[in-house]
Amino acid sequence: MKNYFIARSRRVRSTPYTSRIENQGVTAYSVYNHMLLPAAFGSLEDSYNHLKEHVQVWDVAGERQVEISGKDSAKLVQLMTCRDLSKSKVGRCYYCPIIDDKAGLINDPVILKLGEDRWWVSIADSDVILFAKGLAIGNNFDVKIFEPNVYILAVQGPKSFKLMENIFGKKITEMKFFGFDYFEFSGAKHLIARSGWSKQGGYEIYVEDTKSGLALYDHLFELGKEFNVKPGCPNLIERIESGLLSYGNDIDNNDNPLECGLDKYVNLDNDIDFLGKEKLQEIRKLGIIKKLRGVKIETKEIDISKSIKLFDEKNNEIGELRSGAYSPHFEKVIGIAMIFKPYWSISQPFKIQINGETFSGKICDLPFI
Amino acid sequence: MKNYFIARSRRVRSTPYTSRIENQGVTAYSVYNHMLLPAAFGSLEDSYNHLKEHVQVWDVAGERQVEISGKDSAKLVQLMTCRDLSKSKVGRCYYCPIIDDKAGLINDPVILKLGEDRWWVSIADSDVILFAKGLAIGNNFDVKIFEPNVYILAVQGPKSFKLMENIFGKKITEMKFFGFDYFEFSGAKHLIARSGWSKQGGYEIYVEDTKSGLALYDHLFELGKEFNVKPGCPNLIERIESGLLSYGNDIDNNDNPLECGLDKYVNLDNDIDFLGKEKLQEIRKLGIIKKLRGVKIETKEIDISKSIKLFDEKNNEIGELRSGAYSPHFEKVIGIAMIFKPYWSISQPFKIQINGETFSGKICDLPFI
């Protein structure tokens, strides 16, 4: 695929780290929540190998926060997600599908419970703030909704634990997965969660104090030398192997959470009130007719800029490939596809056209690794 | 400024015209409503000169539609905008600021009245569909809201009238500015409006039938040869000279419509019901404290990727520059800036730092031409 430049403007917002990553060799950007998201530092495969062995620092400021606070905040947050948050605890992160009244996915954020009446919805790429505002206004909820100045730095990779321990002490290594706490650095308190968009382990630092955050950024690279730290970004190969879904890529508003394998975040047998509940109960009763599955394709190269249809041997359309990358681990292309019911069983063979050539593939389970 | 590539994926949607514009020499993209928006075909200045003299065809499919229909659709559309739509007519386009309950701008779409109970909100870059859905659900409105498969082609430039007449006949030249009607081409009816994001005249074709739309695309280039037709895109220089505002660049959720010079689209003395009305009445009473103004800067080059602060001779901060480009017409940089009250008078001098160098400039009226 030919390469094109990204046009810069204020509308596609920079982050506090943009000038640093540009000095460090970022080569490509995507746009995420109207903000620059680094997409490559040279070779995707080199970055993948490095991420699985060492530690990387990522500018993921594009993961914007929607802060919802006030008397009715818990009610509003629960209204937006099919995951039961009635027993949620302050200091914990919750992966939550956000759906509309037709059960179509609107986003799949991690929600942080900062207090009984204060939440951060750490969003994927759609303006959840507008949905929250519309619902709050329409329902006359007593809430305050805004986008705070939070710019996340992710520290990911197996050596992230040692690096973060060297800066913040032993306490940070004792934090459980999807827990968060506050840690001091250079005169500011930073909310740090044990989370991140890779399966290689690590943390996300919710930087509110930009000055201290930039000092921390530099300190991570200074102290990280002994762990072979590098700048990075969410890695397409690693996240597909790990089965981490990407809103807009693998899932969108035409899909419901049951079709996306998010069953464990769908709580229907209770008396909590959320949008799309009746619709989801109906869908569960009737059964879904398409489902996200893994695929393996007998080729070594793919570039996906839109869905690619998949066909069985009799040329029946069996679904569409939505994300894909060459996996050095499997030595072939792997991907995430939405597959129609009769075809979603494991090992179902299919054909796919990539740049005019036909390749064969097979359906498999998610995650790959 | 160094150039970076744009990373492609399904999340950053292609348009039906993407493969055509890539064959025709697009060089840079922006992302607009999660979709690729062409941003350059080589030199910005060449494209500007061509647009002012000839005719261009633009892939502006990123201008997505939010279709709102049903019994309560007029109520919902009016609730979202401070412009009085009570006397709006079917077959007309209306430029409408959309604001929240704090009077902060959420978008500035053109709204098309398709029928008494059917509207297209032709949006700038934010997910208005989520705001509309939230409001509709919260208010229990009887409406249907979705994003239809509409992919706009703009035909812009002084020769657009002749070109479109050659295809659609004399009737299309008689259409008034911001009127729309249906015109047949290759077996399909296309909604065509006399509108577009330049001041050089032209049309926007709301393509619903993609097959016919692609045939029309090719036909425009075939018949356009005698008018020196070229592919193009919204031109930064032309739109700044013309004072066409860009949501996310010149205006955002921290601004209200009175601060953005949109006074004539703010109707406060009536009994219509819209969000932010009380807040706007209060703002009008107290007076605004910042305002969008034009600026001229004594230099020939600028690249804006974020706001740049402006200072007076005594180093008081007087506002911030949000968009800018070198104007061949004025032979200097011109731009759009948000200026604090004591400084917004015409000819107010200021200083600005661009890449470490200090330049002088002056405030002026909008539009420039």
- Residue range B205-246, pLDDT digits in tens: 999 999 999 999 999 999 999 999 999 999 999 999 999 999
Whole-angstrom Cα distance, residue B102 to residue A133? 11
* Interface A-B: count of C-beta contacts within 8 A: 181
Q: Is the peptide bond before A367 cis (omega within 30 degrees of 0)?
A: yes
Residue B100 is predicted with a pLDDT of 97
Q: Is the peptide bond before B367 cis (omega within 30 degrees of 0)?
A: yes
Whole-angstrom Cα distance, residue B71 to residue A143? 29
Chain A CB contacts of B40 under 8 Å are 5, 7
Q: What does the pLDDT average to over B271-299?
A: 98
Which of A131, A140, A246, A336 to mutate: most B Cβ within 10 Å?
Answer: A131
Chain A CB contacts of B133 under 8 Å are 100-101, 131, 134
Q: What does the pLDDT average to over A320-335?
A: 98
Q: Measured between CB atoms, which of A12, A130, A246 is closest to B130? A: A130
Amino acid at A355: N
Q: Measured between CB atoms, which of A29, A100, A137 is closest to B135? A: A137
**Structural Rg of chain A based on CA atoms:** 21
Is the Cβ of A22 closer than 8 Å to some Cβ of chain B?
yes
How is residue A3 written in tokens? 């390469």
Whole-angstrom Cα distance, residue A351 to residue A311? 5
Q: What does the pLDDT average to over B135-144?
A: 98
Of all residues in chain A, the one with the smallest CA distance to B336 is A10
Chain A CB contacts of B4 under 8 Å are 5-6, 22, 26-29
First to last CA, chain B: 28
The angle that helices A73-80 and A128-139 make with each other, rounded to 10 degrees, is 120
Is the Cβ of B336 closer than 8 Å to some Cβ of chain A?
no
How far is CA A113 from each of CA A129, A178, A197, rounded to the nearest angstrom? 17, 11, 19
pLDDT band at A185 (very low <50, low <70, confident <90, very high): very high
- Residue range A268-298, pLDDT digits in tens: 999 999 999 999 999 999 999 999 999 999 9
- Residue range B149-199, pLDDT digits in tens: 999 999 999 999 999 999 999 999 999 999 999 999 988 999 999 999 999
Is the Cβ of A249 closer than 8 Å to some Cβ of chain B?
yes
CB contact under 8 A, A304 and B9: yes
CB contact under 8 A, A26 and B4: yes
Chain B closest-CA separation from residue A139 CA (Å): 5
Q: Measured between CB atoms, which of A2, A5, A246 is closest to B11? A: A246
Chain B closest-CA separation from residue A23 CA (Å): 10
- B74-109 in b/e form (b: 16+ CB < 10 A) is bbbbbbbbbbbbeebeebebbbbbbbbeebbbbbbb
- Residue range B293-325, pLDDT digits in tens: 999 999 999 999 999 999 999 999 999 999 999
Concatenated DSSP letters of B279-313: HHHHHHHH--SEEEEEEEES-S----SS-EEEE-T
ipTM of the complex as predicted: 0.97
Please count the helices (runs of H) and the strands (runs of E) in chain A.
Answer: 8, 22
Residue B2 is predicted with a pLDDT of 86
CB contact under 8 A, A133 and B131: yes
Q: State which H helix or E strand residue A112 sits in.
A: strand A110-115
Residue A2 is predicted with a pLDDT of 86
Q: SS3 of A50, please? A: helix
Is the Cβ of B275 closer than 8 Å to some Cβ of chain A?
yes
CA B16 distance to own-chain centroid: 21
Of all residues in chain B, the one with the smallest CA distance to A10 is B306
Chain A CB contacts of B9 under 8 Å are 30, 246, 248-249, 304-305, 323
